[in-house]
Amino acid sequence: MKNKIIRWGIFLLSLVFLAIIAFLVAISTGEFKISIFDIPRILIEKEGTEYTIINHLRLPRILLGIAVGGGLSLSGAILQGIYRNPLVEPYTLGISGGAAFGVAMAIVFALPMTIGYFILPLAGFTGALITIFLVYFLGIRQGNININNMLLIGVMISFVSSAAMMLLMAITTSDNLHSIVFWMMGSLDEPNMSIIRITMIVSLSALILSLFFSNSLNALRLGETNAKHLGINTGVAIRILFVLASLLAGICVASAGVIGFVGLVIPHLIRLIAGSDFRVLLPGSFLGGATFLIISDTLARTIISPNELPIGVITGIVGGIMFIIILSRSKSNFKMS
């Protein structure tokens, strides 16, 4: 057991080191290059073009990337543990579809013009919240949660939301259509620091809270019946973890749009390297997701500089290729235990 804890510690410290490297590369890379060695001086002096670029452009993107990437990956790891299904991710349950539909409604009815820009993330979170409640309450049968029903209901809500989105896109103006499509492709270009702070606080709080349920998730790997025999109150644990993971995914989607594959691929990669114990899988998934999204955003900003690719394009391509490689090389066929 002591050797396992040491291995976990080394692994998590390695992920922290990779996250720091990704942070430094991201903050120094772009159309206007800044030397890593000059960054401390620039931040201390707090003046000049370089400070403006770091403080107002790159640093907010990196912080949002940490919060959203870590949050989506953590949410995916939790949901995969609850459903004991390796293909479950935050978007499988229709959370992204609900958020996208909420944002589309706000854009079509010109709410950002009349109320303000902040209405878009609020509408996205509201749409995600409605989806979460629908999946939760429709999945309850006679006071008990049926996780298979919840999964099927989430998939159906996702299809319905997608159809409603296409309807709105078919009848709206070209300007609104462009705004909807741009939001759906995902972006870390969020100028509102309050939204970034809220997303970061929620993500870190969810990580800390989820660690208290790591033993419950480990027991659920054996099935609900066996988990009950081990003294786990599975009903309460599943309810709390589902709401936690869903709300976390909802706030991430509302803040950065639809960014796919993070919540699916990263937990698998961490599980393949460090094992299925949620005591290391949860923090590992958070750190891995944050690093992956920071790197993806850096690529999105620089590949066709001075233009910028939607980050969803990068995560989709890289994440899809990674998933295929992991699947082809994994001997466990993505078993949850």
Mean pLDDT in the chain? Answer: 87
Structural domain contains residue 335: no
Instruction: Specify which of 63-72, 87-96, 121-130, 134-143 reaches the highest per-range mean pLDDT.
Output: 63-72
Residue-level pLDDT at 262 = 92
Structural domain contains residue 112: yes
Quote the tokens at residue 214. 């790591």
Structural domain contains residue 107: yes
Comparing 158 with 69, the larger pLDDT belongs to 69
List, for residues 163-172, the tens digit of each pLDDT value. Answer: 888 898 888 8
Give me the domain span that covers residue 300.
2-329
CA atoms within 13 A on the CB side of 180: 28
Of 74, 27, 132, 73, the closest CA to residue 292 belongs to 73
> Residue 2: is its pLDDT beyond 80?
no
**CA dist 250 to 16, 133, 243, 273, 297, Å?**
25, 12, 10, 28, 20
CATH number, residue 18: 1.10.3470.10
Across 195-208, average pLDDT: 94
Across 39-54, average pLDDT: 86
Across 170-195, average pLDDT: 86
Residue-level pLDDT at 147 = 78
Question: How far apart, in whole angstroms, are the C-alpha atoms of residue 257 and residue 279?
Answer: 29
pLDDT band at 77 (very low <50, low <70, confident <90, very high): very high
List, for residues 222-265, the tens digit of each pLDDT value. Answer: 888 788 887 888 888 888 998 899 889 989 988 898 898 899 89
Residue 131 · residue 94 · CB < 8 Å? yes
Question: How far apart, in whole angstroms, are the C-alpha atoms of residue 110 and residue 102?
Answer: 12
Comparing 117 with 19, the larger pLDDT belongs to 19
List, for residues 128-162, the tens digit of each pLDDT value. Answer: 889 888 888 887 765 677 777 888 888 888 889 88
Question: How far apart, in whole angstroms, are the C-alpha atoms of residue 25 and residue 38?
Answer: 13
Total domains present in the chain: 1
Residue 315 · residue 290 · CB < 8 Å? no
Residue 287 · residue 219 · CB < 8 Å? no
Question: How far apart, in whole angstroms, are the C-alpha atoms of residue 262 and residue 140?
Answer: 28
pLDDT band at 337 (very low <50, low <70, confident <90, very high): low
Residue-level pLDDT at 186 = 86
Residue 334 CA to chain centroid, in angstroms?
Answer: 20
Comparing 336 with 150, the larger pLDDT belongs to 150
Of 65, 27, 301, the closest CA to residue 38 belongs to 27
Residue-level pLDDT at 235 = 83
Residue 59 · residue 274 · CB < 8 Å? no
Which phi and psi angles does 145 have, rounded to 5°? -85, 125
Quote the tokens at residue 267. 């937990």
Across 299-314, average pLDDT: 87
Question: How far apart, in whole angstroms, are the C-alpha atoms of residue 109 and residue 111?
Answer: 6
Question: How far apart, in whole angstroms, are the C-alpha atoms of residue 261 and residue 243?
Answer: 21
Structural domain contains residue 147: yes
Q: Tell me how long the chain is.
A: 337
Residue-level pLDDT at 184 = 82
DSSP state of 303: T
Residue 117 belongs to what H/E stretch?
none
Of 298, 262, 251, 289, the closest CA to residue 61 belongs to 298
Strand (E) positions, the chain? 140-141, 144-145
DSSP state of 141: E
Residue-level pLDDT at 58 = 92
Across 52-56, average pLDDT: 89
Residue-level pLDDT at 278 = 95
Structural domain contains residue 48: yes
Residue-level pLDDT at 20 = 95
Structural domain contains residue 78: yes
What residues have CB less than 8 Å from 251, skipping those under 6 apart?
A: 71, 125, 128, 198, 199, 202, 203
Question: How far apart, in whole angstroms, are the C-alpha atoms of residue 147 and residue 150?
Answer: 5
